[in-house]
């Protein structure tokens, strides 16, 4: 099974000897690894540091971490990922979103330090047991793995010589016509300007990250085609391969 680094396949040789570069798009669930990963961290903290509590009419004890910050932090991570995968933070929107998050974090800090909110209903004590973390994280991990490593790989963009194709495996069975263009010139522009999704959740600050790619293909016979490939893992790798393979017929902006 391929790793995310291998989700971008470049340099595969075809029978005719023409170099083939593949570019895989991903669904936004790619960024949800943060939720299941942190859920397993919370599960480990709860297992090793938690208290056994027997609820009324229950014959089995449950593990609950004594600190409410474990449950609160997990909830905040979940909300952050929901917002980041629903709203793209580009340009002025990125600045506004960062200011909003900073203000929310500051306000949350002061609210959490108000003693009366802990003593009187509705208190901000938020506890989740070990079973919750394990169930949610395990199910989410399985869904994430299947989509990222199997479903997303059933469709990809392929550049082979001057031919640009959108390959959809089993597409004919679903009634989807294949798309293919003979390119006079192709312009590929990489955008990795979503601060939260591209830079933080996709580990762009570690030299990894994702990007969106805008493509404009000038085709034989006149006219052009435009499309966007979203959430491409380490997009610079296939873009450099396209530039090397097509030479002056490709303009790549990384």
Q: Are residues 104 and 160 in the same domain?
A: no
Indicate whether 100 and 179 sit together in one domain. no
Are 23 and 213 spatial neighbours (Cβ–Cβ below 8 Å)? Answer: yes
Q: Are residues 139 and 205 in the same domain?
A: no
**For 42-51, how does the pLDDT look when each residue is reduced to its tens digit (9 = 90+)?**
999 999 998 8
Residue-wise pLDDT for 68-101, tens only, equals 889 888 988 998 899 888 877 666 666 777 777 7
Q: Are residues 104 and 180 in the same domain?
A: no
Residues 132 and 168 in one domain: no
Quick one: 61 and 122 in the same domain?
A: yes
**Does residue 165 sit in the same domain as residue 62?**
no
Residue 241: domain span: 4-26+155-253
Which of 118, 150, 182 is the C-terminal boundary of a domain?
A: 150
Q: Is 150 exposed, middle or buried (0-12, 13-18, 19+ CB in 10 A)?
A: exposed
Per the CB < 8 A criterion, the answer to whether 213 and 188 are in contact is: yes
How many domains, the chain?
2
Average of per-residue pLDDT across 178-207: 88
Same domain, yes or no, for 242 and 163? yes
Q: Which of 152, 148, 163 is nearest to 21 (CA)?
A: 163
CA 76 to chain centre: 17
165 & 108 share domain = no
150, 179, 197 - which closes a domain: 150
Do 166 and 108 share a structural domain? Answer: no
CA proximity to 32, closest of 149, 145, 171: 145
- The answer to whether residues 115 and 174 belong to one domain is no
Alpha carbons 130 and 121: distance in angstroms, whole number: 24
Mean pLDDT of 118-135: 74
- Rounded to two decimals, what is the model's pTM? 0.81
Q: pLDDT higher for 22 or 178?
A: 22
């Amino acid at each position: 099974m391929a790793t995310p680094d291998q989700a971008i396949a470049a340099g595969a040789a075809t029978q005719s000897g023409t170099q083939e570069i593949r570019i895989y798009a991903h669904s936004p669930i790619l960024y949800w690894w943060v939720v299941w990963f942190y859920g397993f961290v919370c599960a480990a903290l709860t297992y090793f540091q938690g208290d056994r509590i027997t609820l009324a009419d229950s014959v089995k004890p449950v593990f609950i971490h004594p600190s409410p910050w474990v449950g609160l932090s997990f909830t905040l991570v979940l909300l952050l990922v929901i917002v980041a995968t629903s709203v793209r933070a580009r340009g002025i929107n990125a600045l506004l979103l960062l200011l909003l998050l900073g203000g929310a974090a500051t306000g949350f800090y002061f609210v959490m330090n108000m003693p009366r909110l802990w003593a009187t209903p509705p208190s901000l004590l938020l506890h989740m047991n070990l079973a919750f973390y394990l169930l949610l994280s395990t199910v989410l991990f399985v869904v994430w793995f299947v989509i990222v490593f199997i479903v997303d790989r059933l469709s990809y963009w392929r550049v082979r010589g001057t031919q640009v194709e959108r390959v959809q495996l089993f597409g004919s069975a679903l009634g989807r016509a294949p798309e293919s263009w003979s390119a006079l010139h192709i312009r590929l522009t990489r955008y990795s300007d979503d601060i939260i999704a591209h830079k933080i959740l996709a580990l762009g600050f570690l030299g990894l990250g994702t990007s969106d790619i805008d493509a404009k293909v000038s085709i034989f016979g006149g006219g052009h085609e435009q499309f966007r490939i979203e959430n491409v893992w380490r997009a610079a790798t296939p873009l450099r391969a396209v530039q090397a393979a097509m030479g002056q017929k490709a303009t790549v902006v990384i």
